Structure 1
Amino acid sequence: MRVRIKGDVLCTLLLVISLSTLLYSLLRPTAKQDIAPVKNTKRLKNPPRTAASKKYYDSKVTGKVKLLSEDHHADVDSEDVKPTVPPVKTQSPFDFQQYLSSKDHRNFSLLINQPNKCTKPSGESFLLIAVKSIVEDFDRRESVRKTWGKEGLVNGVRVRRVFLLGIPKNKTTVSLWESLMQQESHYYKDILLWDFLDTFFNLTLKEIHFLSWAEMFCNDVKFIFKGDADVFVNVENLIHFLQNQNASEDLFVGDIINHAKPIRSKKSKYYIPETMYGLGIYPAYAGGGGFLMSGVTMTKLAEACKEVELFPIDDVFLGMCLQRINLKPVLHEGFKTFGITRPSAAPHLQTFDPCFYKDLMVVHSLKAAEIWLMWNLLHSQQPPCSQKQRIKKPFHWKKKKTKQAINAVTRLQVN
């Protein structure tokens, strides 16, 4: 009897243990599923805004994207990160596949033309000023028109002006832009507008279309200055320089860059893959802020551009065209297309100073208001650099003293 009772008790205990184990195994994954979303929801509701997270939220650099820094996530379980971070597709700053598929499309229609630019008013065209611009930058165009880009007779020679534009990439940001461009063209007669999107990598299209236009409508011009709308140009210095040049010969002058290497970093605005340009060095080219060329050179470049394969960086592309016609560009110290750098030996020197600009030709990266101010200062009735007494501390480079001179001074002081 006792043996039978003990056997029943043991069977009951084993059955209870088996049922408990089964219930535990069934309930365990359910509990985990209920808890995990609550944990992640709490994480999303109040994300920690550390210095590392702020760096991510404020970053605008394209390339490989991370939620936060790697150090911040060193102690976070990967299972918790997956539901909160959607996969992000890395995008290149430039769609090379699309560019390569459409790079041979290089003939776009001219929506706004100025066919009489170099014939009216009548007279010899000495200098044609061509300025790269975009539809939105009316204030910069107006600044150029009223300062260094004035048309008419300057120092006895005829100066003419055109602005080079394409279609705005985002047409909705500029309402009625077509009507505004037509009105601006009718009033100033200096707008050239082509039917291609005005983007950074389409500046090469702007280059070849301008050269083609100049060859067709302005083929008797002696010299051409081509530059950006955010440069200050001392036109009087340009004309003085050009009057000593032979207009019937080749001329290409600017801030020349030699032995520049292609940038292979995908994060850079100027990234070029080896599949597009396999050489290690670019040909010599001029900084796009501004350069001078003769009408003879313009005609040769217009023909060379038709034979050279398009390249997304317009400055380099023009260097390739110069290489095609075997013309070496000439460096001139008066072209500062990368801005003015304060000399280390003169920390007191103010770079935004009329006396600094008086002997230069082209200075890049200026605001419209700065261009107005500098122009007015240099063309005032009493220019600040015309009177020596107004310059309290003229800058002079210090000559390095030799060892002997220093020793001689020391001996004199001792005696």
Structure 2
Amino acid sequence: MRQYCRLLSSIKILLLILIFFVIILHSQIFNKNKQWCDPGKPLWWFCPWPDARTICSWDDHFPITDQQIRSPEYYEKLFSSLPKIQSPFEFNNSTFVKCTETSIDILIFVISKCSHASIRQSIRRTWGNTKLLKKYFPNIELKLLFLVDIDSKSEKKIELEYKYHKDIVQVNNLPEQYEYVTEREAALYEFIKLHCKQTKFIFKTDDDIFINTFLLLLSSSKNNFQYLTNNKTIYSLFGFPIEYGLVVRYGIDQIGQRYVITQDEYSCPRYPIFLSGFGYLMSFKTCSLLINAYQTDSKPFPLSDVYFTGLLPQMMNIQRQTIFQNVDYLYQTKCNEEFFISKKNNPFACAASNEHFIQKESDGVKSFMNDYNLYWTKLIEKYNTLKINT
């Protein structure tokens, strides 16, 4: 027995020595060679916690700014003095939406593929049903728009869809491929800046995401949007922060390959804090500032969420804040019924389809109506008392 105990003690001591040796070796390698960790290599989990070596700034894309005077107000003046490098977007006159409202409290802008007509219709009938939501929240001016790309096969269908719903914004010089996500989001911001200036807040999301709009509007209406500006700045940006995510250098499947970034595009191993693409809320001033930055940037970053809610806000000193406390969103798996009925959860957003995570591409034919209606019904049951209390 004593020998067994001695053996265990010896093993523990050896393990501690080995761990200590590995830590020292790792530290010496980084300090001596000043090398950054590479997430594409096997021991990516050795990457040190974020510091000046692990996060790249976007400063070199614009004139160098003194750290002490860095602010959204400063960059607003700077961008107005710089030439616009990016070409403006061309919006289809046949599907041109006019924001005729005197004031819009929240503009929900959904990025959608041109071929996803059935998904857009599912959203209009469920979580994007503005007429129904107006009954629950009569004091909030809400507007829903869809931004779609160009597809010659769907041209006539899009025009017909626009005539029925008046909520389509189509970009003529924007291809449907996923590789243009940054351009797609920039087009959304440009349209708002030019044609929806009366908007107070913009909520951006995608058409394969289910949004709990009851929760969004309930939280927004409590203090007439004052909770969104309690940071004493008009440059607000809210969502679900992702802290210092590792840069993807190698993707094992088609979905993973979407997020691959080269050393030339971004040399550091970690990103600054950015917001989940499930959806984020921003003020009109932030929207205007972001599109001004994009238009004067010679080489915008190819991942829109990282670019618009991480790299640019980090540079301009715009704080990324949590949109709601104590809420849930499904990031790794598809929405499920339990997510919307569990008393422990306060669901806000989730991926409405497995196609958000797996390799198969959507054919644009499948309707999300069954799933959307199931989740929507559960939410109506949960928040139905609002109609009585408001």
TM-score over 0.5 (shorter chain)? yes
Q: Is the 8 A contact 2:328 2:345 kept in 1?
A: no
Distance in 2 (alpha carbons) for counterparts of 1:207 and 1:107: 13
The secondary structure found in structure 2 opposite 1:214 is helix
Distance in 1 (alpha carbons) for counterparts of 2:383 and 2:287: 37
Structure that is richer in helix per residue: 2
Instruction: Give the RMSD, CA atoms, in angstroms.
Output: 2.9
Deviations 1:283-304 (A, max 9, x none): 2211112111122222222222
Query: Greater CA radius of gyration, 1 or 2?
Result: 1
Q: Is the 8 A contact 1:113 1:191 kept in 2?
A: no
Matched with 1:190 is 167
The alpha-carbon deviation at position 339 of structure 1 amounts to 5.1
The secondary structure found in structure 2 opposite 1:261 is coil
The alpha-carbon deviation at position 385 of structure 1 amounts to 9.8
Instruction: Report 1:283-362 matches (<5 A).
Output: 283-308=272-297, 309-318=299-308, 319-331=310-322, 332=324, 333-334=326-327, 336=329, 338=331, 351-355=338-342, 359-362=346-349
1:281 corresponds to which of 270, 288, 296? 270
Q: Structure 1 residue 255 and structure 2 residue 240: aligned?
A: yes
Relative distance call for 1:384 and 1:191 in structure 2 (3 A) is: closer
Deviations 1:296-334 (A, max 9, x none): 222222222223431211111112222232112113453
Stretches of structure 2 that go unaligned for 5 or more consecutive residues are 1-84, 354-367, 386-390
Distance in 1 (alpha carbons) for counterparts of 2:288 and 2:302: 22
Supply the AA of the counterpart residue of 2:352: S
Q: Structure 1 residue 126 and structure 2 residue 105: aligned?
A: yes
Supply the AA of the counterpart residue of 2:90: S
The secondary structure found in structure 2 opposite 1:327 is coil
The secondary structure found in structure 2 opposite 1:145 is helix
Distance in 2 (alpha carbons) for counterparts of 1:384 and 1:286: 27
Distance in 1 (alpha carbons) for counterparts of 2:271 and 2:102: 40
Q: Percent identity?
A: 24
Matched with 2:137 is 155
Q: Is the 8 A contact 1:115 1:217 kept in 2?
A: no
The alpha-carbon deviation at position 350 of structure 1 amounts to 6.5
Q: Is the 8 A contact 2:97 2:169 kept in 1?
A: no
Q: Structure 1 residue 265 and structure 2 residue 250: aligned?
A: yes
Supply the AA of the counterpart residue of 1:124: S
Matched with 2:54 is none
Matched with 1:224 is 202
Q: Is the 8 A contact 1:131 1:162 kept in 2?
A: yes
Stretches of structure 1 that go unaligned for 5 or more consecutive residues are 1-103, 343-348, 387-415
- Deviation above 6 Å: which 4+ runs of structure 1? none
Deviations 1:161-217 (A, max 9, x none): 11111124xx5xxx4x11111111111111111121111110110111111110111
The alpha-carbon deviation at position 142 of structure 1 amounts to 0.5
Relative distance call for 1:220 and 1:150 in structure 2 (3 A) is: same
The secondary structure found in structure 2 opposite 1:253 is strand
Supply the AA of the counterpart residue of 1:369: N
Distance in 2 (alpha carbons) for counterparts of 1:370 and 1:167: 27
Q: Is the 8 A contact 1:256 1:330 kept in 2?
A: yes
Distance in 2 (alpha carbons) for counterparts of 1:151 and 1:350: 23
Deviations 1:228-285 (A, max 9, x none): 1122222121122223333672321112111112111164411111022112221221
Distance in 2 (alpha carbons) for counterparts of 1:355 and 1:316: 32
Q: Is the 8 A contact 2:205 2:278 kept in 1?
A: yes
**Bigger shift: residues 351-360 or 235-244:** 351-360
Distance in 2 (alpha carbons) for counterparts of 1:293 and 1:198: 25
> Number of paired residues?
267
Distance in 2 (alpha carbons) for counterparts of 1:373 and 1:133: 21
Higher relative contact order (CA 8 A, sep 6+): 2
Relative distance call for 1:341 and 1:228 in structure 2 (3 A) is: closer
Matched with 1:200 is 178
Distance in 1 (alpha carbons) for counterparts of 2:147 and 2:220: 23
Matched with 2:81 is none
The secondary structure found in structure 2 opposite 1:250 is coil
The secondary structure found in structure 2 opposite 1:263 is coil
Supply the AA of the counterpart residue of 1:364: A
Supply the AA of the counterpart residue of 2:236: L
Q: Is the 8 A contact 2:246 2:269 kept in 1?
A: yes
Q: Is the 8 A contact 2:95 2:159 kept in 1?
A: no
The secondary structure found in structure 1 opposite 2:110 is strand
Q: Taking structure 2 as the reference length, what is the TM-score of the superposition? A: 0.62
Distance in 2 (alpha carbons) for counterparts of 1:183 and 1:341: 32
The secondary structure found in structure 2 opposite 1:167 is coil
Distance in 2 (alpha carbons) for counterparts of 1:145 and 1:357: 28
Relative distance call for 1:257 and 1:358 in structure 2 (3 A) is: closer
Instruction: Report 1:334-413 matches (<5 A).
Output: 334=327, 336=329, 338=331, 351-355=338-342, 359-366=346-353, 367-380=368-381, 383=382
Q: Is the 8 A contact 2:327 2:346 kept in 1?
A: yes
Relative distance call for 1:356 and 1:124 in structure 2 (3 A) is: farther
Matched with 2:214 is 236
Q: Is the 8 A contact 2:109 2:145 kept in 1?
A: yes
